């Protein structure tokens, strides 16, 4: 199969869809790899590394049967996609329904890497988890750089320095990586999650798990969190208000698929925090867990630094690309046959759950539901 790897054009995106390691394996399996000139340079993968792996360096990688990208295609890139082309990327189709509709109209077979089902067999393909690992790690480094304190306890000639205290909100992949990284740097860490089932994982990393009786569990389908009732949300905010006053660092990771991020750190909490405290909001792109977060910006309010940078994986593009590339290769392994033929195999639950458009239609049930108009409000 002819596989194209274009250079990402979304502002700030430095990752690449496939790295030389993966390209080499695909080439040895009989596929023709076309990599756009300079596609991997920002990720520290030069063109000659791709050539050595068996790829052809081209000026237009969209002239392929399958296109492997990181970010969703821009309008200009959509215009290059031909009918029948297979596209793999982070499409975020639940919030980009117009994109899904356009890809269907162009008869593109689109697979979204953020739609990989959360089942055991699909773990090697779970790009959301691999990129969340990068984000959780980098969030702690950003906090350490912004905090005017040491992370670890130090015994010095000038006396003992107390360790920093960190609160991690959300114990998914990003949160667990943040806990582990903060602990490695020497901070005292506590974590909160609405899903009691993650308590053991938090404690295994050496952090304290904050417990509260919410009257319900925040565990949703597929291991994701779900939206809490108004009363349960009030209880968790009260708990976090107390924790915010006691910690030097807060890293928030709470997200609900296809929904605005829940506000957990209110604007009223900020003045009560210690001067010099740092919040790193990993939910900034979907509205932020901190009420005052500004997506893409770092601001200071009442002496508290609030970091709302988006796309943290792109700040560590070498390993982020490497992990994403392996995710894509694992997914392709379900569809590329030994003779080089491509079989979409919609009978496979992973493939079926990942395909958004095919044959001129939107075929993903979740996306079709998101595209339906909201029911009209009934007035008395």
| CB contact burial 346-362 (16+ within 10 A = b; e otherwise) | eebebbebbbbbbeeeb
- Residues 133 and 323: their CA atoms lie apart, in Å, by 10
Whether residue 103 is predicted with pLDDT greater than 50 in this model: the reply is: yes
Burial class (CB in 10 A: 0-12, 13-18, 19+), 380: exposed
| CB contact burial 176-191 (16+ within 10 A = b; e otherwise) | bbbbbbbbebebbbbb
CATH number at 132-310: 3.40.50.720
Report the pLDDT value the prediction gives residue 378, as an integer from 0 to 100: 43
Report the pLDDT value the prediction gives residue 380, as an integer from 0 to 100: 41
pLDDT band at 320 (very low <50, low <70, confident <90, very high): very high
Burial class (CB in 10 A: 0-12, 13-18, 19+), 73: buried
Report the pLDDT value the prediction gives residue 53, as an integer from 0 to 100: 98
Report the pLDDT value the prediction gives residue 67, as an integer from 0 to 100: 98
Residue ranges of the domains in the chain? 2-125+317-371, 132-310
Q: Which residues are catalytic?
A: 118, 123, 126, 129, 224
Mean pLDDT of 299-312: 97
Report the pLDDT value the prediction gives residue 379, as an integer from 0 to 100: 44
DSSP 174-207: HHHHHHHHHHHTT-EEEEE-S-GGGHHHHHHTT-
Report the pLDDT value the prediction gives residue 377, as an integer from 0 to 100: 47
Lowest mean pLDDT among 37-51, 134-148, 163-177, 229-243: 229-243
Considering the chain, what percentage of its residues have pLDDT values greater than 70?
Answer: 94
Whether residue 365 is predicted with pLDDT greater than 90 in this model: the reply is: yes
pLDDT band at 37 (very low <50, low <70, confident <90, very high): very high
Whether residue 226 is predicted with pLDDT greater than 60 in this model: the reply is: no
pLDDT, averaged across the chain: 93
What region does 75 belong to: left with phi over 0, alpha with psi -120 to 50, or beta?
Answer: alpha
Mean pLDDT of 310-334: 97
Lowest mean pLDDT among 76-80, 142-146, 213-217: 213-217
Whether residue 305 is predicted with pLDDT greater than 60 in this model: the reply is: yes
Report the pLDDT value the prediction gives residue 64, as an integer from 0 to 100: 96
Considering the chain, what percentage of its residues have pLDDT values greater than 90?
Answer: 85
Whether residue 339 is predicted with pLDDT greater than 80 in this model: the reply is: no
Two tokens at 230?
């108004």
Report the pLDDT value the prediction gives residue 48, as an integer from 0 to 100: 98
Helix 317-332 to helix 20-28 angle (10° resolution) is: 20
- Residues 104 and 368: their CA atoms lie apart, in Å, by 12
Whether 132-310 and 2-125+317-371 are alike in CATH topology: the answer is yes
- Residues 290 and 178: their CA atoms lie apart, in Å, by 17
Whether residue 375 is predicted with pLDDT greater than 80 in this model: the reply is: no
Mean pLDDT of 354-362: 96
Lowest mean pLDDT among 7-21, 49-63, 254-268: 254-268
pLDDT tens digits along 107-145: 999 999 999 999 999 999 999 999 999 999 999 999 999
Q: For domain 2-125+317-371, give the fold.
A: Rossmann fold (3.40.50)
Q: How many CB atoms within 10 Å of residue 155?
A: 8
């Amino acid at each position: 199969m002819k596989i194209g790897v274009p250079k990402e054009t979304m502002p700030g995106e430095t990752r690449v869809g496939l790295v030389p390691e993966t390209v080499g394996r695909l080439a040895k399996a009989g596929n023709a790899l076309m990599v756009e000139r300079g596609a991997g340079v920002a990720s520290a993968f030069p063109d000659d590394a791709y050539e050595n792996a068996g790829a052809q360096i081209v000026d237009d990688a969209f002239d392929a049967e399958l296109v492997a990208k990181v970010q969703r295609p821009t309008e200009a890139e959509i215009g290059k996609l031909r009918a029948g082309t297979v596209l793999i990327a982070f499409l975020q189709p639940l919030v980009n329904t117009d994109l899904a509709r356009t890809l269907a109209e162009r008869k593109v077979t689109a697979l979204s890497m953020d739609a990989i089902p959360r089942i055991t067999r699909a773990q090697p393909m779970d790009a959301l988890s691999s990129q969340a690992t990068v984000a959780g790690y980098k969030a702690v480094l950003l906090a350490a750089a912004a905090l005017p304190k040491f992370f670890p306890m130090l015994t010095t000639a000038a006396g003992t320095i107390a360790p920093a205290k960190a609160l991690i909100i959300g114990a998914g992949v990003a949160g667990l990586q943040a806990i582990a990284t903060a602990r490695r740097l020497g901070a005292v860490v506590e974590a909160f999650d609405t899903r009691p089932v993650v308590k053991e994982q938090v404690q295994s990393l050496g952090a304290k798990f904050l417990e509260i009786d919410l009257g319900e569990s925040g565990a949703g389908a597929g291991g994701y969190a779900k939206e809490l009732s108004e009363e349960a949300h009030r209880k968790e905010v009260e708990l976090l208000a107390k924790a915010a006053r006691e910690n030097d660092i807060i890293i928030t990771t709470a997200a609900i698929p296809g929904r605005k991020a829940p506000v957990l750190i209110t604007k009223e909490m900020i003045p009560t925090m210690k001067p010099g405290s740092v919040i790193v909001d990993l939910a900034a792109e979907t509205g932020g867990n901190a009420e005052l977060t500004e997506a893409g910006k770092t601001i200071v309010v009442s002496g508290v630094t609030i970091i709302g940078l988006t796309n943290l994986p792109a700040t560590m593009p070498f390993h982020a690309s490497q992990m994403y590339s392996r995710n894509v290769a694992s997914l392709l392994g379900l569809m590329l046959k030994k003779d080089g033929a491509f079989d979409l195999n919609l009978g496979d639950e992973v493939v079926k759950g990942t395909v958004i458009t095919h044959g001129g239609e939107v075929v993903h049930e979740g996306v079709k539901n998101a595209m339906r108009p909201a029911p009209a409000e009934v007035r008395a």
